[in-house]
Amino acid sequence: MKDLVKRLTEAFGPAGSEELVREVIAGEVQGLVDELRTDALGNLIAFRKGNGNGKRVMLAAHMDEIGVIITAIDDQGFIRFSNIGGLNPHALLGKRVVFAGGTTGVISSEPVDEPKDLKLQKMFIDIGAADRSRAESQVGIGDMGVFYGPFQDLGDRVVAKAMDDRIGCAILVQALRELGSCPHQVWAVFTVQEEVGLRGARTSAYGIEPDVGIALDVTRVGDTPKSRTMEVSLGKGAAIKVTDSSLICHPGLRRHLVEMAKAHQIPHQLEVLEMGGTDAASIQVARAGVPAGVISIPSRYIHTPSEMVDMNDVRACVDLLVKTLEGELRF
């Protein structure tokens, strides 16, 4: 599975430009499902028929990653930029970004007196171009870039850019590979534009009209030195979300996920996230409402070029998803 994670995390896919990620995933799931289509906003929807009187289940993992977008190029060839999704200016200094065509740049800043004065407006990207015309021959206003952060295998743990949420995509692909007899009609949706407002999940949920929605996404952990309190740790299993700032998970579905984890001895932990949101929030309020929950992958250093997950947690998430889909969904 690490090979899949490597290929997925290394694909270029800022919000709104997810096509390269979609290609990788489409290639992987082609033979595993009964129908595969891309909708108007770019969501990749993989449908697998059920073999019983099951439910309409929508699974969602987002393909998009955070990035930068060029807003101006000056006479000296320096690039000004804005954010696509949540960027912390302090996490950007000295980092590299890669644009669609392969152009790489370094992020730096005008001098600031106080760290708190560091704002994106004061920052720029240097792509090594000596002047405007040389810069404009490589990139243009409106071009998006993503972090340069190659996949590295640290053993149990792996690190890369865009683990948020390519690891969720990888889990969804792996679950489709392993899924045995399943009574439910399953729509595995690889969504777009989650990082800018849970947008792809909203329109795909409208189209699918599911009975149940489950999102797969990363969550933060509280296990690093002097971390802010957060009762989720790397390596302690699949995190079953109770709530975050975007949704309160359906309590019945949440309890059902916990019971499934216990019944199949799958390592798991509960998650209460104070900030952040995920696709399940959009699914939950689609049409007349959908019971929705989240299986989260504990992750360190989210929204940096070095997002880290533990492959044992990833394994637990796949197992929990597969076992849940193979059984009845009564809650």
Partner 1 sequence: MVLRRLSEAAGISGQEQEVRAIIRAELEGSVHRLEGDTIGNLIAVKNPGAPGPRVMLAAHMDEVGLMISGYERSGMLKFRKVGGIDDRVLVSKGVRIGKDRIPGVIGAKAIHLQEPKERETPLRHDQLYIDIGAKSKEEAEKKVQLGEYAVFDTAYSEFGEGLVKGKALDDRIGCAVLISLLKEDFNLPVYGCFTVQEEVGLRGAAVSAYRVNPQLGLAVEGTVCADVPGVDAEAQVTALGRGPALTIADAGTLPNRAMLRELIRLARESNVPYQFRRTTVGATDAGRIHLAREGVPSAGIAVPCRYIHSPVSVASLEDFQNTVKLLTLFLRSVEGGFRP
Residue numbers of the site for partner 1 (CB under 8 A)? 15-17, 39-41, 43, 69-72, 74, 80, 82-84, 121, 141-142, 193, 196, 199-200, 202-204, 206-207
Which residue number, 54 or 67, has a Cβ lying nearer to partner 1? 67
For residues 171 and 312, the answer to whether their CB atoms sit within 8 Å is: no
Annotated catalytic residue 19: no
Q: How far is Cα 52 from Cα 329, in angstroms, rounded to an integer?
A: 12
Pairing of strands 144-147, 152-153: unpaired
Alpha helices in the chain (DSSP H): 2-10, 19-29, 132-136, 163-178, 199-208, 251-263, 280-284, 311-326
Shortest distance, position 63 Cβ to partner 1, whole Å: 13
The DSSP symbol for 300 reads B
For residues 170 and 5, the answer to whether their CB atoms sit within 8 Å is: yes
Nearest Cα to 155, choosing from 268, 300, 308, 8?
A: 308
For residues 60 and 75, the answer to whether their CB atoms sit within 8 Å is: no
Which residue number, 184 or 199, has a Cβ lying nearer to partner 1? 199
Assign 205 to helix, strand or coil.
Answer: helix
Q: How far is Cα 184 from Cα 314, in angstroms, rounded to an integer?
A: 23
Which of 194, 195, 271, 307 is the catalytic position? 194
Which residue number, 103 or 193, has a Cβ lying nearer to partner 1? 193
Which residue number, 16 or 168, has a Cβ lying nearer to partner 1? 16
Which residue number, 14 or 54, has a Cβ lying nearer to partner 1? 14
Shortest distance, position 48 Cβ to partner 1, whole Å: 20
Amino acid type, 125: I
CA dihedral 7→107→65→117, nearest 10 degrees, is: 150
Shortest distance, position 40 Cβ to partner 1, whole Å: 4
Shortest distance, position 167 Cβ to partner 1, whole Å: 23
Shortest distance, position 233 Cβ to partner 1, whole Å: 34
Annotated catalytic residues are 194
